[in-house]
């Protein structure tokens, strides 16, 4: 192709990367540009260089399309502060912990970050349980060791100050623990990391493949993630190479952070 044609296709690839909720199966244009990336090494190298220059890591697969994660120094990185802007003022102190707990619930074992077939399904209450256990452990530790980070202590105090969800409540509250988690999950869904699957236990959510890469990046540059969740720094196979890892499906699943297959994924 001509230089202008290459530049046009690079722009198309970048445009689809900015629409993380879409997949190649839904759009012919997306399918065509992904196919070119996978079959044209020169084009793929040019695309990789473009994303690298923007501080982004890219993986492209025929099934999931363009999966982009931002380096810590990238101006395009979605930060906890960006998420906090959409949270109620009294809940902003705990938003970071909620995001970490969602990641921990979806990927409780380091090896799961290397499994391209894992699609976790979990509920808001499962994330609440993870946060409650972490807050309790931090409280016990603070009683033994007074030399703890003040911000961390305040964060867990704020979480414990949020009311638990009322059993059998006729209406859901956006201000109780389940409601706060559900709100963060909706933000992650809007960003293309999760898909809403139901209303069980405050909301049921399914991870999308791009969330695995985002969690791996989180493991790589967040001491808080390692501290709270105990997941080692262990990125998934071939992050940032621009080449697809394995593809496939897993069997079965339920609403408690287990695997589901890729079919029907939005």
> Tens digits of per-residue pLDDT, 236-252?
444 433 333 333 333 33
- Asked, for residue 75, whether it belongs to a domain, the answer is no
**Confidence grade of residue 125 (pLDDT, cut at 50, 70, 90):** very high
Residues 87, 158, single domain; the answer is yes
Residues 43, 94, single domain; the answer is no
Write the pLDDT tens digit of every residue in 200-231. Answer: 898 999 998 888 888 877 776 555 455 545 43
- Asked, for residue 240, whether it belongs to a domain, the answer is no
Residues 52, 84, single domain; the answer is no
Q: Summarize the confidence of residues 103-130 as an average pLDDT.
A: 87
**Confidence grade of residue 145 (pLDDT, cut at 50, 70, 90):** low
Question: 46 lies in which domain range?
Answer: 3-70
Residues 131, 225, single domain; the answer is yes
Residues 56, 99, single domain; the answer is no
Residues 64, 160, single domain; the answer is no
CB neighbour class for 246 (10 Å; exposed up to 12, middle 13-18, buried from 19): exposed
Domain boundary among 70, 90, 106: 70
Torsion of CA 53, 58, 62, 64, to 10 degrees: -130
76 vs 227 pLDDT, higher one: 76
Domain boundary among 70, 90, 122: 70
- Asked, for residue 107, whether it belongs to a domain, the answer is yes
- Asked, for residue 181, whether it belongs to a domain, the answer is yes
The answer to pTM > 0.75 is no
Residues 98, 45, single domain; the answer is no
Residue 135 has pLDDT above 70, yes or no: yes
Domain boundary among 70, 105, 122: 70
- Asked, for residue 149, whether it belongs to a domain, the answer is yes
Residues 222, 116, single domain; the answer is yes
- Asked, for residue 212, whether it belongs to a domain, the answer is yes
- Asked, for residue 154, whether it belongs to a domain, the answer is yes
Residues 117, 191, single domain; the answer is yes
82 vs 104 pLDDT, higher one: 104
Residues 66, 85, single domain; the answer is no
**Confidence grade of residue 260 (pLDDT, cut at 50, 70, 90):** very low
Write the pLDDT tens digit of every residue in 42-64. Answer: 999 999 999 999 888 888 989 88
CB neighbour class for 29 (10 Å; exposed up to 12, middle 13-18, buried from 19): exposed
Residues 23, 101, single domain; the answer is no
Torsion of CA 111, 114, 119, 124, to 10 degrees: 50
Domain count, the chain: 2
Residues 120, 59, single domain; the answer is no
- Asked, for residue 264, whether it belongs to a domain, the answer is no
């Amino acid at each position: 192709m001509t230089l202008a044609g290459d530049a046009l296709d690079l722009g198309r690839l970048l445009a689809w990367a900015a629409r993380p909720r879409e997949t190649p199966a839904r759009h012919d244009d997306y399918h065509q540009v992904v196919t070119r990336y996978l079959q044209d090494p020169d084009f793929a190298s040019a695309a990789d260089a473009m994303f690298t220059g923007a501080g982004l890591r890219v993986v492209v697969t025929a099934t999931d399309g363009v999966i982009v994660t931002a380096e810590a120094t990238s101006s395009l990185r979605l930060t906890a502060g960006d998420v906090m802007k959409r949270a109620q003022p009294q809940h902003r102190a705990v938003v970071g912990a909620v995001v970490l707990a969602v990641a921990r619930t979806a990927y409780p074992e380091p090896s799961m970050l290397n499994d391209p077939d894992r699609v976790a399904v979990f509920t808001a209450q499962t994330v609440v349980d993870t946060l409650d256990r972490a807050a309790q452990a931090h409280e016990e530790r603070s009683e033994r060791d007074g030399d703890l980070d003040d911000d961390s202590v305040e964060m867990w105090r704020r979480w414990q100050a949020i009311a638990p969800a009322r059993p059998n409540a006729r209406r859901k509250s956006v201000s109780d623990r389940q409601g706060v988690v559900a709100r963060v999950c909706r933000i992650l869904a809007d960003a293309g990391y999760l898909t809403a699957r139901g209303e069980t236990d405050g909301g049921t959510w399914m991870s999308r493949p791009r969330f695995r890469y985002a969690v791996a990046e989180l493991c790589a540059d967040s001491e808080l993630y390692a501290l709270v969740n105990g997941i080692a720094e262990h990125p998934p196979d071939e992050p940032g190479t621009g080449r697809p890892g394995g593809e496939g499906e897993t069997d079965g699943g339920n609403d408690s952070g287990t695997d589901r297959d890729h079919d029907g994924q939005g």
